[in-house]
Amino acid sequence: MKWNNIGHEYDDVFEEYKRVLEKHNNRIVFFGAGNYGKKCLRRLHADFIIDAFVDNDKSKEGQYINEIKVISYEEYLKSDGYIVITVKNPENRKALIEQLLSDGKTESDFAEWDFFFDKIYPVLLLYMYEKVYVPVVELSLTERCTLKCKKCAHGCGYVPMNMADMGVDAAEQSIDTLFRHLDRVGNFYLIGGETLLYKNLPIVLEYAGNTYRDHMENLMVSTNGTIIPSDEILEIAKRFNVMFNVSNYTKANPNLTELRNKVIDRIVSFGCRCNQFEQDRDWMDYGFDFVDRKGNVDEMTRVFDGCDTLCREIRGSRFYYCIQARAVSENMHFNVSEDDYLDLDKLSGLEGKRIFFEYANGFSEKGYIDMCNYCNGADCKDYIIPAGEQMPR
């Protein structure tokens, strides 16, 4: 989207949410005081206060979760409040929606947790508390990789193994710059290439955990499951409740299974969190090696507007909307993403926060980024390919 009113693109959206909240006496309540409700509470920035939990389970009535009272559904009906349904199971969620509708509530009186966290909460946090929230930011420490996947979304299969990694100073400076402007991130990823090839990972992980863990809902390390993490890395990871994301390319590469299992066993037996992807998870082909829109601005804008990539990147003071675009542009030598970033060093004050938020949500001078010329964007779903098929070395 092109900036038309830079620094004020969300003014109307906020006014709309404000009206909705005023209708509910400016109260926000979480419906569901179970484990998922508690998890949703942990996602909130410390400044963002909700008024109560509501639960149908009478045994929870009167309890407190982090000083927030659990009230009965009947009490909620008397006291009102904008409802956020904080229940994960889709069937249970559906039942709560039916309950609310049958009691005369309308869809403008409540939101499901994912819509709330993706759309409503970031705008309220910015306009009411002057804090910026972005769901995902990644820091790529190395472009080198132990694998050479066809259609790697970062083009890492084309990178020589002697390519220089990011220096420790540059990595720490990137993290510092990001959190000078960002108050809360959903998932902060240290990635590659293969992240565990990065020899200074213990230093950078320790730095991110020590300095900014409170600003992150999750601190993640991605790995392709070909390197067993050292005890030093695991010890730091355990201390900062780091999640290892272990990708799974064993369907296309059964020979990777044994090593991948060892990697997972090591992480789990050390007591660290481990997210193991399903084997049959396919990829969508971005088409960087065959799409060419010939510089057609309308087409690039259409592709950008239809694209829902979440993966922002911090690199020095540069904040990229699309890490795939930055990485592929460099690693596959398109060299077209020279101005496709926001320079965080040029931002300051509340206006700067709003510009940062708008950029992170897809606003820019051009309304697209140059790599969209070579990308399938949302049309990726029509190009399903096996995950992690290897090119010859």
375 binds ligand SF4 (CB under 6 A): yes
Q: Are the C-beta atoms of 315 and 340 separated by less than 8 Å?
A: no
Q: How far is CA 228 from CA 6, 106, 139, 194, 258, in A?
A: 47, 52, 21, 12, 12
Percentages of the chain per state (helix, strand, coil), in multiples of 5:
45, 20, 40
Find the binder of ligand SF4 among 29, 156, 185, 220 (CB under 6 A). Answer: 156
> Please, what is the minimum distance in Å from the beta carbon of residue 37 to ligand SF4?
33
Q: At what angle do helices 201-212 and 168-181 cross, to 10 degrees?
A: 20
Q: Does 32 bind ligand SF4 (CB under 6 A)?
A: no
Beta strands in the chain (DSSP E): 28-31, 52-55, 64-65, 68-72, 82-85, 110-112, 133-140, 184-191, 216-223, 243-246, 273-276, 283-284, 312-315, 318-320, 341-343, 384-385
Strand runs (DSSP E) across 224-311, as ranges? 243-246, 273-276, 283-284
Bridge partner residues of 53 (DSSP):
30, 70
- Judged by beta carbon, residue 149 or residue 355, the one nearer ligand SF4 is 149
135-154 residues in contact with ligand SF4 (CB under 6 A) are: 145, 147-149, 152, 154
Nearer to ligand SF4, 147 or 216 (CB): 147
Please, which residues bridge with residue 110 across strands?
83
Judged by CB under 6 A, the residue of 116, 192, 242, 250 near ligand SF4 is: 192
CB nearer ligand SF4, residue 238 or residue 366: 366
- Which residue's CB is nearer to ligand SF4, number 124 or number 156? 156
Interface stretch with ligand SF4, choices 132-140, 207-215, 228-236, 318-326 (CB under 6 A): 318-326
* 326 sits near ligand SF4 (criterion: CB under 6 A): no
- Out of 61, 112, 194, 358, name the contact with ligand SF4 by CB under 6 A: 194
Counting contacts by CB under 6 A, is residue 319 touching ligand SF4? no
Q: Interface residues with ligand SF4 (CB under 6 A)?
A: 145, 147-149, 152, 154, 156-157, 192-194, 224, 286, 303-304, 307, 309, 322, 324-325, 369, 371-372, 375, 377, 388
